[in-house]
Amino acid sequence: MFKEVKEFEYITVSEAKEIVEKIVQKRQEVAELSFETRKALRHLRNFAKLPADKARELVNELMKLPQVKKREIAVKLVDILPRVPDEIRIVYAKEEVNLKPEEIEEILEIISRYRE
């Protein structure tokens, strides 16, 4: 029983949590949740750092910066909400980009406005 991927989009942990919670709510009406579903939901609840709407908003704001060219980078930045330049450099480690200190500070400044 193979399934074909029809569509693919990077989403934040917060958005995944929102989606899984909706699925769980529907499934609980019919049957008990599987171990894997409960474990996945617990993981998402532990690691989601922002509400889904704020996470989407932050991804969109980061995507406007010239140094954040890929959605996957913006999503990863939102998932970890870096506090120091080195955490941003780690996200960019595989990229062919050398960020200037002022570009890193710009990212940190935007992220700090969303941190709860």
- Asked whether residue 58 falls in the same domain as residue 103, the answer is yes
E strands, 33-87, in order: none
Measured CA to CA, the distance from residue 24 to residue 33 in angstroms comes to 7
**Number of domains into which the chain is organized:** 2
Task: Print the domain residue range for 62.
Answer: 52-114
The answer to whether residues 41 and 74 belong to one domain is no
Residue 35 lies in a domain: yes
* Residues 43 and 65 both lie in one domain: no
Q: What is the pLDDT of residue 1?
A: 60
Looking up tokens 């990077």, which residue turns up? 10
pLDDT at 2 over 80: no
Q: Are 60 and 108 members of one domain?
A: yes
Q: Are residue 58 and residue 29 in the same domain, yes or no? A: no
Question: Percentage of the chain with pLDDT > 70?
Answer: 97
**pLDDT, tens digit, 9 for 90 and up, residues 12-34:** 999 999 999 998 988 887 888 88
> Residue 116: pLDDT band by 50, 70, 90 thresholds?
low
